[in-house]
Amino acid sequence: CRGLEVFYPEVGDVSCMVVPSCNSYRQKITLWPPPTVKFPKASESATYILIMVDPDAPSRSSPQARFWRHWLVTNIKGADLKKGEIKGQELSAYQPPTPPPLSGFHRYQFSVYQQEGKAISLLPEESAGRGFWEMDKFLSRFQLITPEASTQFMTENYKD
């Protein structure tokens, strides 16, 4: 967990935690709108990319569809990111955490990269689906080496 805060309604900041099963949080998180994502140390004059993935799709023991892309936003102004306002070009609309039944815990990872003026886009084959995303090739294509900030949380299907 490196400097990124992720807030959902009712439960608050889920950075580096397991979403509790009490109060039906594990079910509610599948219905809530996008979380508030804040990077307090963002440079106000910089532009950023936000990536949210599930590296455990369809299950942690058998992650063949790893790096399921849950959210991808480019052109986020640093001043907005500092305040938790994710305004930018949404290349993949937000998809809430929805771990399948009996698949165990899933990690939902958030990373923020400095965009540095590059135009970022998905290839047609990347746009065709969210699963099996070769995130490493995407990052390499745009010379996005190290995230400026990152965090993750874990949850499992609310019926498990």
Task: Determine which helix (DSSP H) or strand (DSSP E) holds 155, and give its type and residue range.
Answer: strand 149-155
Let me know: does 116 contact 83? Beta carbons within 8 Å.
Answer: no
Strand order in the sheet with 12-13: 12-13, 5-8, 36-38
The pLDDT of residue 110: 98
Place of tokens 């399948």: 100
| pTM for this predicted structure | 0.96
Domain with 140 in it: 5-155
Tell me: the pLDDT tens digits for 33-83?
Answer: 999 999 999 999 999 999 999 999 999 999 999 999 999 999 999 999 999
Question: Would you say residue 140 lies in a domain?
Answer: yes
pLDDT of residue 118: 87
User: Is the bond preceding 58 in cis, omega lying within 30 degrees of 0?
Assistant: yes
Assign residue 62 the CATH number of its domain.
3.90.280.10
Instruction: Kindly state whether residue 120 falls inside one of the protein's structural domains.
Output: yes
Residue 110, classed as helix, strand or coil, is: strand
Q: Is residue 160 part of a domain?
A: no
Sign of CA dihedral 62, 56, 16, 148: positive
Is pLDDT at 148 greater than 90 in this prediction?
yes
The answer to whether residue 73 is domain-embedded is yes
Whether 96 is covered by a domain: the verdict is yes
Residue 59 CA to residue 106 CA, distance in Å, equals 7
Residue 101 lies in a domain: yes
pLDDT digit string, tens, across residues 7-21: 999 999 999 999 999
Number of domains in the chain: 1
Within 13 Å and on the Cβ side, how many CA atoms surround 121? Answer: 4
